[in-house]
Structure 1
Amino acid sequence: MGFIRRTSRKTGKLKTFLGLAVSRIAVARRPRLARKSIATDDIRQLLTLGHLDRAIHRAEQVIAEDNMLEAFEMIELYCKRLIEHASNLDKPSEEIREAVAVVMFAASWCGDLPELPFARSILADKFGSDFTEAAKDGTGIVDPMLVWKLSSSATSMELKNKVTKEIAMENNIIVDFSELQEETKDI
Structure 2
Amino acid sequence: MRLNLLSLFAEFIKGSTWRHHSKCKKLIKQLKARLVVQKKRRNAIIKQVREDIAQLMQIGNHHLAFSRVEQLYRDECRLSVYNQLDAFCDCISMNLCDISRNSKLSDDVKEALSSMIFAASRCGELPELHSLRDLFKQHFGQAFDRINVELLPGNSVNLETKKHLTHVTKLKEDTKLQFMDEIRILIVLWPTTHGLKA
Q: Where on the TM-score scale, by shorter chain, does this alignment land: which range?
A: 0.7 to 0.9
Q: Deviations over 1:49-76 (max 9, x none)?
A: 1111111111112111110000100111
Q: Contact conserved, 1:71 with 1:149, CA < 8 A, in 2?
A: yes
User: Secondary structure at 1:171's aligned position in 2?
Assistant: helix
User: Secondary structure at 2:42's aligned position in 1?
Assistant: helix
CA offset at residue 149 of structure 1? 0.3
2-side partners of 1:38 and 1:16: how far apart?
Answer: 34
Q: Does 1:138 align with 2:151?
A: yes
Higher relative contact order (CA 8 A, sep 6+): 1
Q: Does 1:163 align with 2:176?
A: no
List aligned pairs for 1:76-87, cutoff 5 A: 76-87=86-97
List aligned pairs for 1:2-151, cutoff 5 A: 4=14, 7-89=17-99, 90-91=102-103, 92-139=105-152, 140-151=155-166
Number of aligned residues? 173
Q: Deviations over 1:144-184 (max 9, x none)?
A: 211110122322222111101110111129xxxxxxxxxxx
Provide the residue aligned with 1:181 in structure 2: none
Unaligned runs of 5+ in 2: 1-9, 190-198
Q: Contact conserved, 1:107 with 1:113, CA < 8 A, in 2?
A: yes
CA offset at residue 5 of structure 1? 9.6
Q: Which has the larger radius of gyration?
A: 2
Q: Contact conserved, 1:17 with 1:118, CA < 8 A, in 2?
A: yes
2-side partners of 1:6 and 1:88: how far apart?
Answer: 8
2-side partners of 1:66 and 1:18: how far apart?
Answer: 23
Q: Residue 109 and residue 17 in structure 1: after superposition, are their counterparts in 2 closer, same or farther (change >3 A)? A: same
TM-score, with structure 1 as normaliser: 0.85
Task: State the AA in 2 paired with 1:22.
Answer: K
RMSD: 2.0
Provide the residue aligned with 1:178 in structure 2: none
Moved over 6 A (4+): none
User: Secondary structure at 1:172's aligned position in 2?
Assistant: helix
Provide the residue aligned with 2:193 in structure 1: none
Task: State the AA in 2 paired with 1:170.
Answer: L
Q: Does 1:153 align with 2:163?
A: no
Task: State the AA in 2 paired with 1:43.
Answer: I
